[in-house]
Amino acid sequence: MELEQREFDLIRDMVYGAAGLRFEDHKRSFVQTRVGRRMAAIGCTTAREYYRHLRFHDPDGEELQKLIESLTTNETYFFREYPQLQCFANEALPEVVERKRALGRRLKIWSAACSTGDEPYTLAIILQACLEGVSEWQVEILATDIDLQALARAQRGVYSARAVKDVPGPYLKKYFRLRSGMYHVVPEVKRMVTFAQVNLLDRHAMRCQTDYDFIFCRNVLIYFDDAARRKVLGCFYDSLLPGGFIFLGHSESVGRISAAFEMVNLGGYITYRRPLDGRRPGRVVRGGALCLSE
């Protein structure tokens, strides 16, 4: 099956409208392969027939959902981008914890586009290891993704050796159980995370997410165009409490898209946060002691 330009344009525009994922012309071969697999799965013989199926015979969006899932890479592993996690554990987390000790001891974290769960479980492990008196805090970690298959894997909490290759040795021993060659996340970590399907371009679903201290949305915005990025970042801003932090991927930047956040240099790592009430965005430099180390 060869995906002609016309069909490629129609299908990618449909995917963009549903999920905000933008595939440029040089990705046509990649999209063609994924479309071919879905065509074979439902018995379509031409790309035009498949497009018509998506347009007129998929009222619940089930097939479009499966196509979108096939187009997302789900490349992730535990403790990915370790320096950023050090910034979270050693700088941002203590700052927020100190501010909230007298405000009910509640922490809310959102792992947006969580894929197979490696990131939110990593965050839960960091809280277990670095938050003194974690049992005295009301901790909520919401992990969301558009991919239902990835979420199902995340809820199982079972991973290969490759997924846990960067987990520090003491954490691997304490927070995982090795069974039949697979690593199972321990129950006390699994209980900290709630999984749900959320499309980042669904404004209603996004508006339901409020009062977060931290949002992690790493290596996702690179697949969106500027218009979609602005929408998503606007929703993230509204979802954060004043003083709350947002962590993006190492190649992503808020500054070019939104001036609402302030850039913060925490121990040499650049991140962004929603300014505290009454303060204009600006550059902030902070530093502190380490608790999460190599």
Question: What does the pLDDT read at residue 289?
Answer: 39
Distance CA 249, CA 120 (A): 15
The pLDDT-based confidence of 62 (bands split at 50, 70, 90) is: very high
What is 82-286's CATH superfamily?
A: Vaccinia Virus protein VP39 (3.40.50.150)
Is 286 in contact with 264 (CB distance < 8 Å)?
yes
Domain boundaries, the chain: 5-71, 82-286
The proportion of the chain whose per-residue pLDDT surpasses 90, expressed as a percent, equals 71
Is 81 in contact with 49 (CB distance < 8 Å)?
no
Q: Which residues pair with 142 in a beta bridge?
A: 110, 194
Q: How far are the Cα atoms of 120, 135, 191, 244 from residue 85, in angstroms, in the given order? A: 12, 21, 21, 16
Question: What does the pLDDT read at residue 285?
Answer: 44
Neighbours of 114 (CB within 10 A): 31
Question: What does the pLDDT read at residue 111?
Answer: 98
pLDDT tens profile 252-265: 777 666 788 999 99
pLDDT tens profile 113-163: 999 999 999 999 999 999 988 889 999 999 999 999 999 999 999 999 999
Does the pLDDT of residue 193 top 90, yes or no? yes
3-state SS, one letter per residue, for the chain: CCCCHHHHHHHHHHHHHHHCCCCCHHHHHHHHHHHHHHHHHHCCCCHHHHHHHHHHCCCCCHHHHHHHHHHCCCCCCCCCCHHHHHHHHHHHHHHHHHHHCCCCCEEEEEEECCCCCHHHHHHHHHHHHHCCCHHHCEEEEEEEECCHHHHHHHHHCEECCCCCCCCCHHHHHHHEEEECCEEEECHHHHCCEEEEECCCCCHHHHHCCCCEEEEEECCCHHHCCHHHHHHHHHHHHHHEEEEEEEEECCCCCCCCCCCCCEEEEECCEEEEECCCCCCCCCCEEECCCCCCCC
Distance CA 2, CA 138 (A): 53
Question: What does the pLDDT read at residue 280?
Answer: 58
Question: What does the pLDDT read at residue 243?
Answer: 95
Q: Which two tokens stand for residue 92?
A: 């941002």
Neighbours of 195 (CB within 10 A): 19
Question: What does the pLDDT read at residue 288?
Answer: 41
Q: Which two tokens stand for residue 31?
A: 């999209």
| Edge-first strand listing for the sheet containing 182-185 | 158-159, 182-185, 176-179
If we measure between CA atoms, which residue out of 109, 110, 113, 111 comes closest to residue 19?
113
Distance CA 67, CA 54 (A): 10
Give every CB contact of residue 237 below 8 A, 6+ residues apart in sequence.
Answer: 258, 260, 261, 274
Is 185 in contact with 122 (CB distance < 8 Å)?
no
Separation of CA 143 from chain center: 7
Does the pLDDT of residue 74 top 60, yes or no? yes
The stretch 223-247 carries a mean pLDDT of 93
Residue that wins the pLDDT comparison between 193 and 294: 193
Q: Which two tokens stand for residue 216?
A: 């992690």
The pLDDT-based confidence of 282 (bands split at 50, 70, 90) is: low
The stretch 200-211 carries a mean pLDDT of 95
User: Which fold is adopted by the domain 5-71?
Assistant: Chemotaxis Receptor Methyltransferase Cher; domain 1 (1.10.155)
Question: What does the pLDDT read at residue 104?
Answer: 84
Question: What does the pLDDT read at residue 103?
Answer: 82
